[in-house]
Amino acid sequence: MDIRRPPSKAMRSGKAGEPFKSYQNYSNNMKQQQQNLKASSDAVLLLRVPLYITNGIFFTLFFSAAYFLLHRWREKIRTSAPLHILSLSDIAAIVSLIASFIYLLGFFGIGFLLSIIPRASHDHEDAWDVHNNDHLIAKEDSRPPGPCAAAIDYSLVPPVLPCTNGSSNAAAPLPLSQDDEEIIKSVVSGSTPSYSLEAKLGDCRRAAAIRREALQRSSGRSLEGLPLEGFDYDSILGQCCEMPVGYVQIPVGVAGPLFLDGKEYTVPMATTEGCLVASTNRGCKAIYASGGATTVLLRDGMTRAPVVRFSSASRAAELKFFLEDPLNFESLSLVFNRSSRFGKLQYIKCAIAGKNLYMRFSCSTGDAMGMNMVSKGVQNVLDFLQDDFPDMDVIGISGNFCSDKKPAAVNWIEGRGKSVVCEAIIKEEVVRKVLKTNVAALVELNMLKNLTGSAVAGVLGGFNAHASNIVSAIYIATGQDPAQNVESSHCITMMEAVNDGKDLHISVTMPSIEVGTVGGGTQLASQSACLNLLDVKGANRDSPGSNSRLLATIVAGSVLAGELSLMSALAAGQLVKSHLKYNRSSKDMSKISP
Ligand code: ADP
């Protein structure tokens, strides 16, 4: 049996990074509090009866005993009998009163006592109390997996122990040897370059530990809080990160099941934004209850656009016509495709600025996100073109017409990576019961916010409520390049009342989802585990490219869920109120059918 008392504020105020001493005080308080709770839990456990019955029994006992004793004392005073002479029933009543008082104090008084125990920090509480994110909806979703505060029993969560070296207690760093000490000194003095440590030592973890210590000494700044142990530094060498000194921890939550194209997915999201996962989770619930969402992959091709310069615009135009001539495509693709069995040239689109030519190569890349693959193919073609265009001056293999990690109309219009559209029909009842709003309010909010409002703001690909929230969280969890969130979050969210205005048709169209399931950060242990959860880990041997395409559809489906939930929270919270305020409708919009 569990005592379902809410955690006190004192119990919630644990904050990693406090000085060790205050941690000890905090830890002792926590232990004491947990023991108190456990004691009362155990007492109740012994009785093996429902909590409300034991509470009822002790309440009745307390008041009955108190009433009996008062009655007896009044009787004694009236008859002038001595008060200190007790009968057997008096003794039984006193014992019952004390016992029930101890029980009631233990059960109901602890919360009060804990709330007056001095707290380690006020900051944490502020964060706890102030929930002003506009996608704050967790309380509306009664499902247990919600990650918001209300769903978490903090009495069961041990605080992180801050160590002197900054890693968690579960991963205390190994001590540095005398040899290490010498190397640290030489790094601090500059005689050993920090970047050369991995190559020199042949031990990536040791190199990171030495670099970290040298950095702390030379900068005079502590890296406490940034863990060192518990990470495979070999796995990032030459691929993911140079000169590591530790790693940042980001919590991973799950939203789902997301019912997409007839299958269920549990979507991992790495984020520190409270309630984002809960919000997406609620959207998933609405989609599920309405029969699921479907996706269509419209195109799949990664792009790279080098810039070359000629002595005249006409010469630049000559190359443009050559590249765009269908008769030359076969020879160009033969050259391009040499670099990888997965990279297949799809088309070349050119743009001219004076005598400069920008050639946007697009190719399929299998399960890789494909930046390296397309770059290698482009390099092959540039080398090949030098024979016929020896006056071509290659300025850069990337001329920004690609366009990578920058908001650009070319990606919004032409697409980059995977272009996906995802749609669902959300039933009127689900909109009302799960999303706590109505179809008319959602359609109107979408028109005024995501379409008109975004047009007023002059956005590029930003006709949505918060696609980037979901994209970034999934990208970080699954080892994608988070910087590609810029164009991957391009999304237009459409909403329309269908089925005689009863139900809601919602869609998200995302032209530039850049994802892969091989290469880059996808091969790291944590990220690879998240890909595995979605059953898209690594290369798909039977059908290369299927894993990354599936991942792109899951991203779009999750964005659909996120859009649904946030838009509903906004519609329920603001739009309905404003309707009433401005008297456009005298009725409560949330209670009428659209
Ligand atoms: P990116 O091009 O996304 O930057 P990489 O350069 O790491 O990624 O390329 C992916 C590597 O994985 C290539 O060497 C490629 O040959 C290999 N590979 C193995 N299986 C696949 C697959 N199914 N799809 C794409 N690449 C694959």
pLDDT tens profile 442-492: 999 999 999 999 999 999 999 999 999 999 999 999 999 999 999 999 999
What pLDDT band is residue 581 in, cutting at 50, 70 and 90? low
Whose C-alpha lies nearest to ligand 1, atom 6?
372
Are the C-beta atoms of 415 and 298 separated by less than 8 Å?
A: yes
481 is catalytic: yes
Q: What is the pLDDT of residue 80?
A: 81
Are the C-beta atoms of 585 and 579 separated by less than 8 Å?
A: yes
- Three-state SS string across 528-586, please? HHHHHHCCCCCCCCCCCCHHHHHHHHHHHHHHHHHHHHHHHHHHHHHHHHHHHHCCCCC
Residue 156 has pLDDT above 80, yes or no: no
Closest atom of ligand 1 to 343 CA is 25
What pLDDT band is residue 74 in, cutting at 50, 70 and 90? confident
Asked whether the CA dihedral 529, 531, 535, 537 is positive or negative, the reply is negative
141 is catalytic: no
Tell me the average pLDDT across 112-127: 41
Worst-scoring range by mean pLDDT, 113-122, 211-220, 566-575?
113-122
Residue 292 has pLDDT above 70, yes or no: yes
Amino acid at 396: G
Whose C-alpha lies nearest to ligand 1, atom 11?
519
404 is catalytic: no
Q: How many Cα atoms are found within 13 Å in the side-chain-facing hemisphere of 83?
A: 7
491-498 and 503-513 beta bridge pairing: antiparallel
491-498 and 462-463 beta bridge pairing: parallel
Residue indicated by tokens 């009302």: 432
Cα 159 off chain centre by: 21
Higher pLDDT: 20 or 227? It is 227
Exposure string over 57-69, b if 16+ CB within 10 A, otherwise e: ebeebbeebeebb
Are the C-beta atoms of 251 and 526 separated by less than 8 Å?
A: no
Query: Which spans in 15-50 are helix H?
Result: 20-47
- Distance between CA atoms of 294 and 424, rounded to whole angstroms? 6
**Which of 131, 355, 376, 405 is an active site residue?**
405
Tell me the average pLDDT across 345-362: 98
Query: Which spans in 348-466 are helix H?
Result: 371-388, 409-414, 428-433, 439-445, 454-457
Q: What is the pLDDT of residue 576?
A: 52
Higher pLDDT: 389 or 69? It is 389
Centre of ligand 1 from the C-alpha of residue 385, in Å: 26
Closest atom of ligand 1 to 369 CA is 3
User: Which residues' Cβ are closer than 6 Å to ligand 1?
Assistant: 340, 342, 365-373, 516, 518-520, 539-540, 544
Worst-scoring range by mean pLDDT, 95-109, 318-332, 447-461, 518-532?
95-109
Q: What is the pLDDT of residue 589?
A: 36
Q: What is the pLDDT of residue 104?
A: 82
Centre of ligand 1 from the C-alpha of residue 376, in Å: 12
**Which residue among 373, 379, 397, 513 has the greatest number of ligand 1 atoms within 8 angstroms of its CB, and so is best to mutate?**
373
414 is catalytic: no
Taking Cα atoms as reference points, which of 300, 334, 296 lies closest to residue 553?
296
**Which of 134, 273, 444, 496 is an active site residue?**
273
Centre of ligand 1 from the C-alpha of residue 189, in Å: 41
Whose C-alpha lies nearest to ligand 1, atom 8?
519
Pull the structure tokens for residue 93.
């009543």
Give me the phi and psi of 159, to 5 degrees please: -70, 155
Q: What is the pLDDT of residue 113?
A: 54
Q: Mention every residue, 6+ apart, whose C-beta is less than 8 A from residue 206.
A: 180
**Which residue among 338, 342, 363, 517 has the greatest number of ligand 1 atoms within 8 angstroms of its CB, and so is best to mutate?**
342
Closest atom of ligand 1 to 540 CA is 23
Give me the phi and psi of 217, to 5 degrees please: -70, -45
Closest atom of ligand 1 to 375 CA is 2
Residue 108 has pLDDT above 80, yes or no: no
Q: Which 3 state secondary structure label does DSSP give 183? A: helix
Asked whether the CA dihedral 219, 225, 228, 232 is positive or negative, the reply is negative
Residue 177 has pLDDT above 70, yes or no: yes
Exposure string over 493-518, b if 16+ CB within 10 A, otherwise e: bbbbbeeeeebbbbbbbbbbbbbbbb
Worst-scoring range by mean pLDDT, 94-98, 296-300, 309-313, 458-462?
94-98
Mean pLDDT of the residues in the chain: 83
- Distance between CA atoms of 17 and 27, rounded to whole angstroms? 13
**Which of 9, 418, 449, 579 is an active site residue?**
579
Q: What is the pLDDT of residue 105?
A: 80
- Distance between CA atoms of 486 and 514, rounded to whole angstroms? 10
Closest atom of ligand 1 to 374 CA is 2
Tell me the average pLDDT across 265-273: 98
What pLDDT band is residue 440 in, cutting at 50, 70 and 90? very high
Centre of ligand 1 from the C-alpha of residue 264, in Å: 27
Whose C-alpha lies nearest to ligand 1, atom 20?
539
- Distance between CA atoms of 353 and 395, rounded to whole angstroms? 13
- Distance between CA atoms of 526 and 270, rounded to whole angstroms? 11
Q: How many Cβ atoms are within 10 Å of 400's Cβ, its own excluded?
A: 14
What pLDDT band is residue 50 in, cutting at 50, 70 and 90? low
Centre of ligand 1 from the C-alpha of residue 521, in Å: 12
Q: What is the pLDDT of residue 38?
A: 40
Q: Mention every residue, 6+ apart, whose C-beta is less than 8 A from residue 131.
A: 274, 275
Give me the phi and psi of 298, to 5 degrees please: -85, -35
DSSP state of 452: I
Centre of ligand 1 from the C-alpha of residue 361, in Å: 18
Tell me the average pLDDT across 336-345: 96
Centre of ligand 1 from the C-alpha of residue 544, in Å: 10
**Which of 300, 481, 487, 514 is an active site residue?**
481
Asked whether the CA dihedral 319, 321, 327, 333 is positive or negative, the reply is positive
Q: Mention every residue, 6+ apart, whose C-beta is less than 8 A from residue 144.
A: 151
Amino acid at 234: D
Taking Cα atoms as reference points, which of 514, 470, 482 lies closest to residue 258?
470
Q: What is the pLDDT of residue 582?
A: 53
**Which residue among 518, 527, 537, 548 has the greatest number of ligand 1 atoms within 8 angstroms of its CB, and so is best to mutate?**
518
Q: What is the pLDDT of residue 478?
A: 98
Q: Mention every residue, 6+ apart, whose C-beta is less than 8 A from residue 129.
A: none
Whose C-alpha lies nearest to ligand 1, atom 21?
539
Centre of ligand 1 from the C-alpha of residue 518, in Å: 6
- Distance between CA atoms of 85 and 448, rounded to whole angstroms? 82
Helix (H) or strand (E) holding 182: helix 178-189
Whose C-alpha lies nearest to ligand 1, atom 2?
370
Closest atom of ligand 1 to 341 CA is 16
Centre of ligand 1 from the C-alpha of residue 516, in Å: 9
- Distance between CA atoms of 398 and 291, rounded to whole angstroms? 44
Q: What is the pLDDT of residue 577?
A: 58
- Distance between CA atoms of 580 and 576, rounded to whole angstroms? 6
Exposure string over 140-167, b if 16+ CB within 10 A, otherwise e: bbeeeebbbbeeeebbeeebbebbebbb
What pLDDT band is residue 162 in, cutting at 50, 70 and 90? very low
Cα dihedral 210→168→482→124 (10° resolution): -130
pTM score: 0.72
Centre of ligand 1 from the C-alpha of residue 366, in Å: 7
Q: What is the pLDDT of residue 321?
A: 98
In angstroms, the Cα distances linking 149 to 270, 485, 497 are: 17, 28, 35
- 308 forms beta bridges with 357, 394
CA angle 578, 581, 586 (to 5 degrees): 105
- Distance between CA atoms of 162 and 170, rounded to whole angstroms? 10
